[in-house]
C-alpha cells in the first residue's frame, strides 16, 4: 500500500485527491503528480523533463564518485571515454527511446538540454578546461558527437523492435496508431528521413547508415558554426580532422597536456581573452543602496579586440596565441631553443609561416607533440613569473 499511488494525467498537473478517491481494501490511496516507475520518473503532464533531470543528476553523481577515486591515478583520456560510454551513458540515456525523439535533430537547442550539458561538462572536465570553454571545440578535440546522435540510433532500433511484435500486441497497435497520426508521432521525422520500414535483413545496415549519416551531417553543421566563432579561429585552422586529437593520447603529463588544450581552445589568460572588458570605478550615487554597494562599484564596458595589447613587450600587438607563441620578445630565448629542436625533427617547420607554425607548436603534428607541450609550458611559466 505504501508503494501504490494514484497519478492522473492532465495538461496542468495538480493533485485531485479531493475530486476523486481510490481505495484498495478500504485504504485510501495517495495522489501524486510524479512517480518513479522502473527507474524513470513519470510526470502527470506526460512530459519527461523531470525524468531527464533525475537521470542527469544520477549520472553526474556516478561520474564524480568515479572521478574522486580515479583522478589521482591520472587515467588516460581513452579510459575516461570508455568509462563514460560503458557506465555513465547508460544511466544518462536510460529510456531515451521514449523521451529522446521529440528533440529532433536541432543541435543548437539540444546543447542547452541537461543531458548534453552534462556530456559537455564531462568533456571539459577530463580535458581540464573551464566550464565556459567553447563547447564545439571541446567535443571536437575528443572526436565526440552530441548524444542526440546516439538517441537517433537507439530510437531506430526500438522502432524496429516495436514493429516486429505480434500484430495484436498493444505496443504494435500503438505504433500503428502513430503511423496513422504523424502529427503526434515524435519518431515520424526519423521514419520518413531514413525510410525505416526496411526488411529484417537490412535493418542492421540501416542502423549503421543512420549513425554514419547523422555524424556526417553533424560535422558539416560543426564546420559552418566553428568557422564563425572568433575565439576558435586558430583552432579551426589547425584541427585537421574530427577525431580524438593524437596529442591527448601521447602526452602523459596531465598539467602539460591540459595547458596545450587550453591554448588550443582559447581557455587561457592571454589579454585577448582577459582584456575583453574594461573595468573602471563608478561613483555610487544611485538610489538603490543594495545595487550601488554590491554591484555598482565598477563600470563594465566592452574593449575592442585590437586594443587588447600585450603588456609584456613594446610591440603594441594584440596578445593572442599567435603573438604569445611566435612573436613576443619576452619569450625569445625559449623560442630559439625549442624552434631549433622542432626544426631538427621536422625540417619544413623552418619555412612555415607563423600561423602555420601553430600546428607544430600546439600539438597537431604528431612528430613533435612532446616538444610542443614543453615549449608551451615553458612560455606559460615565464609569463606567470612577472
Binding interface with Zn ion (CB under 5 A): 310, 312-313, 328
Question: What is the nearest approach in angstroms of Zn ion to the Cβ of residue 230?
Answer: 20
User: What residues form DSSP beta bridges with 300?
Assistant: 279
How far apart (Å, rounded) are the C-alpha atoms in residues 179 and 197?
11
- Closer residue to Zn ion (CB): 54 or 383: 383
Minimum CB separation from Zn ion for residue 345, in Å? 27
Rounded to 5 degrees, what angle do the CA atoms 360, 363, 369 make?
90
Whether 138 and 77 have beta carbons less than 8 Å apart is answered as no
- Choice between 62 and 309, CB closer to Zn ion: 309
Smallest separation, CB 317 to Zn ion (Å): 6
Q: Using the minimum distance from each CB to Zn ion, give the nearer residue, 97 or 320.
A: 320
Strand pairing report for 5-7 and 30-32: parallel
Residue number, 211 or 313, with CB nearest to Zn ion: 313
133 vs 310 by CB, closer to Zn ion: 310
Q: Which is nearer to Zn ion, 46 or 311 (CB)?
A: 311
Contact 80, 74 (CB under 8 A): no
Q: How far is the CB of 316 from Zn ion (least distance, A)?
A: 9
Closest contact distance (angstroms) between CB of 315 and Zn ion is 6
The grid cell for 247 is 596529442
* Smallest separation, CB 361 to Zn ion (Å): 16
Amino acid at each position: 500500500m505504501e508503494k501504490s499511488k494514484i497519478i492522473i494525467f492532465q495538461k496542468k498537473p495538480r493533485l485531485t485527491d479531493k475530486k476523486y478517491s481510490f481505495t484498495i481494501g478500504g485504504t485510501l490511496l495517495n495522489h501524486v503528480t510524479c512517480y518513479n516507475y522502473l527507474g524513470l520518473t513519470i510526470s502527470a503532464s506526460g512530459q519527461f523533463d523531470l525524468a531527464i533531470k533525475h537521470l542527469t543528476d544520477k549520472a553526474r553523481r556516478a561520474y564524480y564518485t568515479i572521478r574522486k577515486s580515479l583522478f589521482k591515478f591520472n587515467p588516460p583520456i581513452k579510459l575516461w571515454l570508455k568509462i563514460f560510454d560503458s557506465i555513465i551513458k547508460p544511466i544518462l540515456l536510460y529510456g531515451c527511446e521514449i523521451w529522446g525523439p521529440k528533440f529532433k535533430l536541432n543541435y543548437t537547442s539540444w546543447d542547452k538540454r541537461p543531458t548534453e550539458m552534462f556530456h559537455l561538462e564531462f568533456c571539459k572536465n577530463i580535458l581540464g578546461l573551464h566550464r565556459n570553454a567553447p563547447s564545439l571545440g571541446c567535443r571536437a578535440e575528443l572526436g565526440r558527437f552530441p548524444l542526440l546522435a546516439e538517441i537517433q540510433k537507439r530510437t531506430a532500433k526500438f522502432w524496429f523492435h516495436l514493429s516486429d511484435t505480434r500484430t495484436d500486441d498493444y505496443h504494435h497497435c500503438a505504433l500503428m496508431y502513430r503511423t496513422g497520426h504523424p502529427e503526434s508521432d515524435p519518431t515520424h521525422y526519423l521514419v520518413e528521413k531514413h525510410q525505416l520500414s526496411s526488411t529484417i535483413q537490412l535493418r542492421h545496415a540501416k542502423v549503421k547508415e543512420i549513425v554514419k549519416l547523422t555524424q556526417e551531417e553533424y560535422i558539416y553543421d560543426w564546420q559552418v558554426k566553428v568557422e564563425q566563432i572568433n575565439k576558435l579561429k586558430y583552432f579551426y585552422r589547425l584541427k585537421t580532422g574530427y577525431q580524438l586529437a593524437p596529442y591527448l593520447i601521447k602526452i602523459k603529463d596531465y598539467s602539460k597536456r591540459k595547458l596545450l588544450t587550453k591554448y588550443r581552445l582559447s581557455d587561457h589568460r592571454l589579454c585577448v581573452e582577459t582584456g575583453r572588458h574594461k573595468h573602471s570605478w563608478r561613483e555610487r550615487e544611485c538610489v538603490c543602496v543594495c545595487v550601488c554597494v554590491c554591484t555598482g562599484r565598477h563600470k563594465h564596458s566592452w574593449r575592442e579586440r585590437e586594443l587588447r595589447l600585450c603588456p609584456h613587450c613594446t610591440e603594441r600587438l594584440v596578445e593572442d596565441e599567435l603573438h604569445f607563441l611566435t612573436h613576443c620578445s619576452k619569450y625569445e630565448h625559449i623560442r630559439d631553443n625549442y624552434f631549433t629542436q622542432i626544426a631538427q625533427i621536422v625540417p619544413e617547420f623552418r619555412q612555415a609561416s607563423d600561423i602555420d607554425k601553430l600546428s607544430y607548436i600546439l600539438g597537431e603534428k604528431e612528430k613533435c607533440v612532446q616538444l610542443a607541450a614543453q615549449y608551451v609550458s615553458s612560455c606559460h611559466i615565464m609569463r606567470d613569473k612577472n
